[in-house]
Structure 1
Amino acid sequence: MTNSPKPRARGADKRRRLMAAAAQVLHRQGVERTTIADIAQAADVPVGNVYYYFKTKDELVQAALAEHAGGLAEFTGELDKLPDPLDRLKAMVGAWVGQRETAARYGCPTGSLAVELDKRDDGGLDLEVGKVIRLLLDWVERQFRELGLPDPDDLAITFVGAYQGMSLLANALRDPEIMTREGNRLTRWLDDLPSAREDGG
């Protein structure tokens, strides 16, 4: 006789599946075109069960943002295992370029949500998506600070802004190679930055 999963464990699994599905479906379809039924289907959860975990679509959007934040924290945690901050930044560029087909088709997950949610009148969710982008900016700024470079906050905005720009253009023109070309340009920019370590800083 096999033991069936405990109800709490099954519930946690359903919630996790719904969060992951919300992040995926909202990225592909956008907030306005996505229904709760779309997310339920992607998560393989009956539509009626969704309301046990998330009462509204906005709660599912918040769940998607939490999923993006968690994924970013996990990814940057892996990059932090690299000993050199410059290598961490280059690895991030490499990961972005590695997602070029997805970016060309759907754009940046958080960037696309930021643009869409900013146009809504209710407020709140646009601020939530800004927090996810801030997590990325803060991590990038720490890398430049560790490199000993001046104005690490400005460098972080340039770096993340370059990613958002190439994602938007790749998506608008449906051309993934824009990500490749601009990713190479961003890597060269990183290599050309003066290093405080070389200057004895």
Structure 2
Amino acid sequence: MPRPASDKRERLTAAAIELARSAGFEAATIARIAQEAQVPSGSVYYYFKTKEDVAAAVGAGIAARLAAVRAEHPDGPREALSAFLRSYLGDAAATVSYGTLLSTASAVGGADAHREALAWIQERFEGLGFPAAAARARALHLLAGVEGGGALAHALGDAEPLEREVAHLERWVANAGT
């Protein structure tokens, strides 16, 4: 049964993200995106006229995925931060193989995903009572720590650095402001 045309852009974006993450952005060719999304190659050009359009879609798609993960955790700020950190563990196998989603966004110039994650994390620390500057510093520390753990896990081909960093940061968050 054919898929509805309305989800074609989403499928193309998802395919481009997966190709960029698993094989590098250079591998996200029009032909491979079309094949991965199971659409005719000509359809890709309707949505993505240039490689820059593909890069923008990858960056925006990753930002949207991460925003959805953050939105799933509407609890208090401490619980939301812990859930955000645990989401990295849920993606640990892919991180070991390909790097984090944010590292993929970075590879295509998607700094918006980082900015949005930092702003969200900062808001959670502000919700714990930290002034804006201190909340910003803590947000930078948390994101640098978990992304660094992900980068090391990828480099070593072992999830242990990510697992240890998430555990450490969860303890740090649990004690923040107490």
Normalised by the length of structure 2, the TM-score is: 0.91
Does 2:18 match 1:35? no
2:42 corresponds in structure 1 to 48
> How many residues were matched structurally?
175
Displaced runs of 4 or more, over 3 A? none
1:145 corresponds in structure 2 to 126
Spell out, residue by residue over 1:13-61, the C-alpha distance to the aligned partner (whole angstroms, 9 max, x if none).
2112101111111111111233221111110011122112211122111
Q: Where do residues 159-178 of structure 1 align in structure 2 (5 Å cutoff)?
A: 159-178=142-161
2:111 corresponds in structure 1 to 130
SS at 1:32's partner residue?
helix
1:187 corresponds in structure 2 to 170
Q: Which amino acid aligns with 1:92?
A: F
2:99 corresponds in structure 1 to 107
1:70 corresponds in structure 2 to 64
1:93 corresponds in structure 2 to 85
Spell out, residue by residue over 1:80-126, the C-alpha distance to the aligned partner (whole angstroms, 9 max, x if none).
2x1x2101101111111121111110001222341x34xxxxxxxx2
Gaps spanning 5+ residues in structure 2: where? none
Q: Which amino acid aligns with 1:176?
A: A
Higher helix share: 2
SS at 1:79's partner residue?
coil
Normalised by the length of structure 1, the TM-score is: 0.81
How far apart are the structure 1 equivalents of 2:87 and 2:37? 26
How far apart are the structure 1 equivalents of 2:52 and 2:58? 10
Q: Which amino acid aligns with 1:171?
A: H
Contact 1:100–1:177 at 8 Å: present in 2 too? Answer: no
Structure with greater Cα Rg: 1
Q: CA RMSD in A?
A: 1.7
